[in-house]
Structure formats: C-alpha cells, structure tokens
C-alpha cells in the first residue's frame, strides 16, 4: 500500500509540473493518470469529481464532455490506481 501511495504522489507531482492547463478533458485525464475512460467516468460520478460541460459545445467539443479541474486531477491520481486490465 505504501509503495502505491508513493507512486501516486509522484504521478501527481509530475502532472502538476507538466500542466499549465486549467481544464482537462476526460481523454486527457485518462492519458495523464493511466485510468481508462470507463473507470474514470464511473469514479468521477461516484466521487462527484469533474463536471459535464454542455456549454463547451461552443468551443467545438462534443456534447456531454466530461471536464476536470487540476484539483480533480490530483484527487483522481491520489485515490485511484492506474488501470492494469
Ligand atoms: Zn479501467
């Protein structure tokens, strides 16, 4: 367990350094965290992380786009292990 926590903290730090973004799409979060889209969405719903931005259609994104803030991303990285399936 300790090794997993340390690994996750390392990932979180790495994501923070790399990112100057304010908003992340679900696909970007999946890439950054190693969590697949299916698990990411299920986890986000159960934890009330992220938000669905229909207004983002104006920006050319698909309807019902899941979006995440950097703090959402940190929570995901810290609490949810990478998918291994
Ligand atoms: Zn998965």
Print pLDDT tens along the chain (85 aa). Answer: 444 444 455 555 455 545 566 888 898 899 988 999 999 989 888 888 888 766 555 566 555 678 898 888 888 888 888 999 9
> Which pLDDT score is estimated for 1?
41
Q: Is residue 8 one of the residues assigned to a domain? A: yes
- Distance between CA atoms of 52 and 60, rounded to whole angstroms? 14
32 CA distance to ligand 1 centroid (A)? 13
State the CATH number of the domain containing residue 32. Answer: 1.10.1660
Both tokens of 75, joined, read 């929570």
Predicted TM-score (pTM) of the model is: 0.65
58 CA distance to ligand 1 centroid (A)? 30
The total domain count for the chain is: 1
Q: What residue numbers bound the domain in which 60 lies?
A: 2-79
79 CA distance to ligand 1 centroid (A)? 14
> Which pLDDT score is estimated for 20?
67
52 CA distance to ligand 1 centroid (A)? 20
Q: Is residue 85 one of the residues assigned to a domain? A: no
């Amino acid at each position: 367990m300790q090794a997993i926590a340390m690994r996750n903290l390392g990932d979180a730090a790495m994501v923070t350094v790399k990112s100057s973004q304010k908003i992340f799409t679900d696909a970007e979060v999946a890439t950054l965290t190693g969590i697949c889209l299916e698990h990411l969405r299920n986890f986000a719903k159960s934890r009330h992380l992220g938000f669905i931005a229909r207004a983002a259609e104006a920006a050319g994104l698909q309807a019902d786009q899941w979006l995440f803030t950097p703090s959402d991303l940190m929570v995901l990285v810290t609490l949810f292990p990478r998918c291994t399936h």
